[in-house]
Amino acid sequence: MAGFTVCNQTLDVVNVALGEEVDGQFQTDGWWTIGANRCVDVIRSELASRYVYIYATDVFGNAILKGATEMCVDRRRFTIRGIGNCWERGYIAARFHEVDTLDQVRWTMFLRRSGP
């Protein structure tokens, strides 16, 4: 039983990074590559936090979601503890989209392209 699933409903392959609170500190993880009309379980256990943060790009690096919460990502596969001072720590600052899971133990997020 997956805790958080991301479904790509665009016509493009997308790359997804995840932000969540782990042991009292925010952490980001990435990347999951999700093909068109496919789903991937990015959190495999029941959700422990109400809020999950998602950053998604197309294969050209263009953001698919609009987000307001700045967290860190890297170019290659990563796990980053803490969300501050991204540039100083050698990471890239990205704006993650906040998902309110309403305290559910499982949640599915659907990615769709918005506008041109």
Instruction: Sketch out the chain's domains with CATH numbers.
Output: 4-111 (2.60.40)
Name the band, by pLDDT with cuts 50, 70 and 90, for residue 1. low
What phi, psi does 88 have (nearest 5°)?
-65, -25
pLDDT higher than threshold 80 for residue 71:
yes
Query: CB 33: neighbour CB atoms within 10 A?
Result: 13
Is pLDDT above 70 for 57? yes
4, pLDDT greater than 90:
yes
**Which letter does DSSP use for residue 75 in this model?**
S
3-state class (DSSP) for residue 89: helix
Beta bridge partners of 43: 4
| Exposure string for 57-89, b = 16+ CB within 10 A, e = fewer | beeeeeebbebebebbbbeeeeebeebeebeee
Tokens 């925010």 -> residue: 26
Q: What is the mean predicted confidence (pLDDT) over 70-91?
A: 96
Flag whether pLDDT at 14 surpasses 80: yes
Residue-level length of the chain: 116
